[in-house]
Amino acid sequence: MGGNQTSITEFLLLGFPVGPRIQMLLFGLFSLFYVFTLLGNGTILGLISLDSRLHTPMYFFLSHLAVVDIAYACNTVPQMLVNLLHPAKPISFAGCMTQMFLFLSFAHTECLLLVLMSYDRYVAICHPLRYSTIMTWRVCITLALTSWTLGVLLALVHLMLLLSLSFCGPQKVNHFFCEITAVLKLACVDTHINEVMVLAGALSVLVGPFFSIVISYVHILCAILKIQSGEGRQKAFSICSSHLCVAGFFYGTAIIIYVEPQYESPKEQKKYLLLFHSLFNPMLNPLIYSLRNKEVQGVLKRMLVKERTS
């Protein structure tokens, strides 16, 4: 960081342009959502780790998704809550870069994990007889580690490009956390390469994976319609619809934010979309899976009954 002639040592996050009363209301509301996110994803992790019936590839990837969602929320929400209480409190340059790097790492990893989850369902429903030979534990662990590694490496590329820029003011970031496009606007040099890389990264981890998921679920839907058993068809459709809802929420908002041309949507609108993306999406994931998945519901009920009788 010392070689980029940076004269700014801290940034001021502008957050949301609302009055003190609304800020306190948002603080309480966002705190509640944050607690629900931690409890929901923590419950998913606990159920998967404690019940051997959930030790399958699908729940293995779901546990990684829960870890990402917890980390995702912990990276952005606490800073946002601090800003609501103390709007004038700055964040250091190093802290801002770290937050941006972690946000991108977790976002990229979640993009890739959702692809793996759709592939797992594709193999399970379209090739059920070969499922155990294709989705071995070695393959699952390798795929999960690859997702995390690629997510971190892609974020590292953006970080290195950003650290090569000079920042000489203003130091006000028009966002509730150190989001990469908002920070780029504060550079006092040409950021064309950075903007191209942001778009290229979005296309590679958002648009490409999203279309691969859509294609997978088209094949899955065709296979589900061929299932003779009504109960089997309902179970397969319930699990896949849950995955599709999560993917739709995640990719839909992210594509609008990072792929849609800047002039199509106002900056404030994209800021609120990213709020949904980083706060509500991690909270909704465990709710969607637990409410729509009978296996998770069954394990949770058994755990609660066991706790009451003990």
pLDDT given at position 60: 95
For residue 70, give the nearest of 110, 108, 25 by alpha carbon. Answer: 110
Q: Which two tokens stand for residue 279?
A: 């706060």
| SS3 state at 121 | helix
Alpha helices in 51-134 (DSSP H): 57-85, 93-126, 131-134
Q: Phi, psi (5° rounding) for residue 15?
A: 65, -130
Show the CA angle centred on residue 269, arms to residues 178 and 73, nearest 5°: 40
C-alpha–C-alpha distance, residues 63 and 222, integer Å: 28
* 86: phi then psi, degrees, rounded to nearest 5: -130, 80
The per-residue pLDDT for 3 is 44
- The Cβ of residue 265 has, within 10 Å, a number of other Cβ atoms equal to 13
pLDDT attached to residue 263:
44
Quick one: DSSP state of residue 227?
Answer: -
Consecutive 10-residue runs of the chain (310 residues): their mean pLDDT? 59 86 92 93 90 89 94 92 86 93 95 93 91 95 97 96 86 89 89 91 90 89 79 72 81 85 61 84 82 73 72
Tokens read off for 266:
């106002």
Which residues 6+ apart lie within 8 Å of 170 measured at CB?
Answer: 186
CA distance 132 to 57: 10
180 exposure class (CB count in 10 Å sphere: 0-12, 13-18, 19+): buried
Please give the full DSSP string across 146-168, using - where no structure is assigned: HHHHHHHHHHHHHHHHHHTS-B-
Query: Which pLDDT score, from 0 to 100, does residue 2 have?
Result: 45
* Helix, strand or coil, per DSSP, at residue 187: strand
What is the reported pLDDT for 4? Answer: 45
Domain ranges of the chain: 10-303
Alpha-carbon Rg for the chain, nearest whole angstrom, is: 21
- Rounded to whole angstroms, the Cα distance separating 160 from 68 reads 23
Beta bridge partners of 88: none
Pick the CATH number of 10-303 from 1.10.760.10, 3.10.105.10, 1.20.1070.10, 3.30.365.10: 1.20.1070.10
